[in-house]
Amino acid sequence: MSPDEHIVVDELVCEGAAVCEMLAPTIFQVGDDDVVSVRRQPDDDVTRAEAAEAVDRCPKQALRLMQVV
């Protein structure tokens, strides 16, 4: 994940498995509706690495990295 990317959640696909929240709890939070939200965008190398792993390991592929324009 690069500094010019941000995380987007497909709320229609997310089932709230919470893999992302377990891998990067400062970035992701699963709500009472079992849908993840992005608490904050990654802003350093450590949180970018955690976020990238969470995107890769999402069982429903509900997370995407998008280029910031």
- What pLDDT digit, counting tens, does each position of 1-11 carry? 888 889 999 99
Q: What is the predicted pLDDT for the residue at 38? A: 96
CA dist., res. 62 & res. 3, Å (int): 21
Q: What is the predicted pLDDT for the residue at 34? A: 92
State the chain's maximal CA–CA distance in angstroms.
32
pTM: 0.88
Question: Closest Cα to residue 60, out of 26, 6, 20?
Answer: 20
For residues 22 and 59, the answer to whether their CB atoms sit within 8 Å is no
> Which residues of the chain register pLDDT less than 50?
none
Q: What is the predicted pLDDT for the residue at 58? A: 97
CATH code (residue 52): 3.30.70.20
Domain boundaries, position 25: 5-67
Q: What is the predicted pLDDT for the residue at 2? A: 82
Number of structural domains the chain divides into: 1
- For residue 61, the tally of other CB atoms under 10 A from its CB is 12
